[in-house]
A and B are shown apart, each in its own frame.
Chain A
């Protein structure tokens, strides 16, 4: 049955590819896709598109800061320019699937994405698909999916933008974007370089500095003012986008992205060692490239992509063994190679119906090892694994709007992971336009989906601890929500409220073992439910003043309903660790004649650090609120457009931790100057 579906999809794809070659006429795609006021592809979808102005807010920002400030996603950040992972709807980082230009960014080794390594200035479009709405992007997105796009699109024949930034803690940022556009050819080159000593000062309330007298007796103490230790970083990103429109109006595109990152892993604030006694550094080199071919016909659209992703990740810990020299104590390295091919076909037999078929093929190869010095032989020993995995996935979608108010959609996905088939993953979406007039609308949306995620290669093979007997995670998700918009002369408002409920069986969790290492097991049934809401308002206040405000709020319950490990297991019925019950963000902006003032506020409620949600002092992290402001002035001269921008982060100098014992910076400043030369 499953093989039959796959064969059918491949056949369908092949037939339509042949068909595509024989049709010459090209139609405007947008007019084909959009029916009445709602696009067919939007039926029942819960999504949040990040505004370009927020993606291009600060050249020092990675996507982790933009998501924190403009969505209800909880970003678990280990510090400034250190690992930042996303928790959407209270799920784990590997339950948020991420794609860039159609390429999966989730590590086949770890399952997650480090958002701190995605410069927000490199991304032109970012859309968050919540819960069931992610199944059209990828399977495994129990929390959702984030689709990122970078394009070569530009309107001018030549364009150049250079931004330089200087900030607190000896931070320097540079960004360059150069574009070329002709009738058929477009090119965009982006370069970003960020480096920082990142040695911010903070009062360390986790420690005391003791004063001893000459006899070594304790005579006093103070909470020390310390610097963030070993936090220095330097990240280089290069991105090249090329697009060429062929004579038959099909489009070829090439995206390439190179990352070279060297980051210190900051010392914990409970570490009493001196900074020069150790060095803990993460080196990453990544190269990704995606080749694309798009073609549109009267009732047909084809998008094909293929690409390669290479990652070299090295974690090196050096320690002083007493002789004043730093010696290698931990050497952990992994190489990941992934190739993929994907083809997507959208067919519009009528303005009310869209049928989509997609097939994707992925091959991953991972070599991961630790080097240890054998105490007996004094030789270097490699402990790790070298494994590959082939994955394929086929998706069939029908979207139908039987009347102007009603929309229905059905997804069917089938995947293979290695030599195993996933269960058939159906998803059903429905929406109904309750009210629609020239002032706005109210739409009800609902979806139900089945989802699945296979263990990662580390889950299965990591040494020590990998568990080849792990089962895949499986679950169901249900969404119900309302979306509304309202517009009068100088005011427009949008809002969305969604309730969701999902259950994930066989949740994969890494736990320490009595043997001293961690190992993954299928232990939990997790029940995740909650409410997400967002609101947007734009006001034209007259006399050149206008203002916008975006707000997000989430109530998230992510509860362990697994079997207790033993009679004393108090984790059953409790919120998962590091999942805030409440999160909110507000982003307000006021413009006036080239001036722009931006206020960003975000809040995370208390997070538990123990699975039993224990009430002790060290079992929880306090809620925190972040306030950031920026002021920008745009000037236009004969030869260039200029922008001056001053940003103040952590305005009220909050002392906070996002993750236990990891210090975070207090108030800090960044100044940037942007220059866009005018060529004509």
Chain B
């Protein structure tokens, strides 16, 4: 009996089965045309992930960042931008932007020591701006020097979010607890003006006529602003209780898309925001929207309960369903890799 106890005791002592994933560096090949899906993951869980989809073969892979690099993507991956063959993955609550090779997803570099980065936006071949949820500034990054080379204060506004540019002007939305669009002169790197909209401007696009469209979610509204004069030309208000978000535009710059429970489609010359439903939700809760500018296909995500892998729907530009995919946790951003 004592022997039996000793046996159990020794077995227990040396039992060990802990394993943190490490060192896996799977070779992943990403074709010339692909969709990257940035899965946010849950705040303070560190379970963000990256997926990719080949629209032609309709093959789909999850967790490609950890599989190809052997490390986690981090906590709350917010956006991804492709520039000069490199992918810039912004991981908000890890305070880092990973630079990856978009053909195999391998890490090539990183921009670190950021406060709470949200987006990176290139205005020419080497110069990019990095917005930040809390920092009260926009960082200026030079991709040839591979370092932060300057900053633009956004004070008194702490939060900077979406960025779009028109000629030498950069428009920056101040989303969190704010109602301003800042105008930055990209030659002088200075804030030269600000435009007041409604609270929480969450997304922006510029149409083919040089008009800036801004979608606000608190006091739900859509604004049309002239990019030269910074004057508001249209102020369109949704019904109270709505939460419109994810304003996008097609490749020709003449049709707007956004999520307002349904997927709404609106001509840039229209002012009708109430009867423009394009794709019904039918029990889905759309979370993110992306337009493939090469063919107009529409990608939508549903985070379901936000603690399981979400669903990605692909529709044609006519709104016909093409494919359904199972992504990562909270698929929140679509980034398209194209031949050009």
Contact = CB atoms under 8 A, between A and B. Distances in A.
B20 A616 contact: no
A24 B217 CA distance: 72
B239 interface: no
A248 B180 CA distance: 75
Contact of A206 (B72, B113, B307, B309): B72
Interface string B3-46: 00100010011111111111010000000000000000111111
Contacts of A617: 21, 24, 63, 66-67
Contacts of B328: 616
Given A618-B66, A623-B18, A321 B112 contact: no
Contact of A375 (B15, B174, B283): B174
B15 A272 contact: no
Interface string B147-188: 100010000111100000000000000101111100000000
Contacts of A269: 46
Nearest to A216: B146
Contact of B96 (A272, A322, A566): A272
Nearest to B217: A515
A463 to B, nearest CB: 14
B137 interface: yes
Given A319-B115, A322-B151, A216 B109 contact: yes
Contacts of A335: none
A622 B20 CA distance: 7
A373 interface: yes
B334 interface: no
A270 B74 contact: yes
A137 interface: no
A546 to B, nearest CB: 14
B137 A624 contact: no
Given A268-B46, A514-B285, A661-B72, A625 B17 contact: yes
A623 B18 CA distance: 6
Interface in A521-578: 523, 549, 565-571, 577
Contact of A321 (B9, B21, B46, B134): B134
A215 B41 CA distance: 33
A601 B176 CA distance: 48
Interface stretch (A5-13, A175-183, A607-615): A607-615
A212 B99 CA distance: 13
A126 to B, nearest CB: 25
B134 A329 contact: yes
Nearest to A602: B12
Interface string A630-657: 0000000000000000000001101111
Contact of B177 (A206, A372, A523, A611): A372
A514 B287 contact: yes
Contact of A624 (B13, B17, B63, B70): B17
B305 A611 contact: yes
Contacts of A423: none
Indicate the size class of the contact surface on chain A.
35 or more
Interface in B220-252: 243, 245
B75 interface: yes
Contacts of A110: none
B311 interface: yes
Interface string A580-618: 000000101000000000010101000001111010111
A279 B309 CA distance: 32
Interface in B176-225: 176-180, 217
A610 B329 contact: yes
Contacts of B284: 566, 568
A268 B75 contact: yes
A657 B16 CA distance: 14
B93 interface: yes
Given A588-B9, A618-B66, A378 B156 contact: yes
B76 to A, nearest CB: 10
B95 A660 contact: no
Contacts of A268: 44, 46, 75, 93-94
Interface in A262-298: 268-274, 277
B45 A212 contact: no
Given A270-B72, A375-B157, A515-B243, A614 B308 contact: yes
A656 B16 CA distance: 11
A627 interface: yes
Nearest to A212: B109
Given A218-B107, A610-B308, A616-B328, A627 B13 contact: yes
Nearest to A660: B45
Contacts of B13: 599, 601, 627, 651
Contacts of A382: none
A208 B137 contact: no
B174 A609 contact: no
Indicate the size class of the contact surface on chain B.
35 or more
Nearest to B202: A516
A603 B11 CA distance: 13
A27 interface: no
A333 to B, nearest CB: 18
B300 to A, nearest CB: 12
B95 A577 contact: no
Most A Cβ at <10 Å: residue of B41, B145, B287, B329: B329
B92 to A, nearest CB: 11
Given A612-B308, A660-B46, A655 B135 contact: no
Contacts of A652: 14, 16
B137 A321 contact: yes
B47 to A, nearest CB: 5
B277 interface: no
B304 to A, nearest CB: 5
B256 interface: no
Given A322-B135, A514-B287, A586-B12, A661 B45 contact: yes
A571 B136 contact: no
B140 interface: no
Contact of B304 (A216, A319, A566, A661): A566
A322 B135 CA distance: 7
A567 B307 contact: no
B1 to A, nearest CB: 10
Contacts of A206: 20, 46, 71-72
Most A Cβ at <10 Å: residue of B72, B114, B285: B72
Interface in B264-315: 283-285, 287, 302-309, 311
A399 B74 CA distance: 56
B276 to A, nearest CB: 20
Contact of A611 (B115, B287, B308): B308
A208 B287 contact: no
A655 B19 CA distance: 8
B304 A568 contact: yes
A270 B94 CA distance: 6
A370 to B, nearest CB: 11
B178 A571 contact: no
A619 interface: yes
Nearest to A625: B15
A599 B5 CA distance: 13
A617 to B, nearest CB: 5
B113 A655 contact: no
A661 B107 contact: no
Interface string A307-347: 00000000000011110000001000000000000000000
Most B Cβ at <10 Å: residue of A375, A567, A627: A375
27 contacts: A205-B20, A205-B21, A216-B146, A218-B108, A223-B22, A270-B75, A270-B91, A270-B94, A272-B95, A272-B96, A277-B95, A319-B116, A319-B134, A322-B151, A512-B330, A565-B304, A610-B307, A616-B49, A616-B63, A617-B66, A619-B309, A622-B17, A627-B12, A627-B13, A656-B20, A661-B47, A661-B72
Given A652-B16, A656-B18, 16 more contacts: A205-B20, A208-B69, A208-B107, A216-B109, A271-B74, A272-B96, A322-B151, A376-B180, A512-B330, A514-B285, A566-B285, A570-B308, A570-B309, A588-B9, A611-B305, A661-B46
Enumerate the 7 nearest inter-chain pairs by beta-carbon distance, A residue then B residue, closest first. Answer: A661-B46, A216-B146, A612-B308, A375-B178, A273-B95, A270-B46, A512-B306
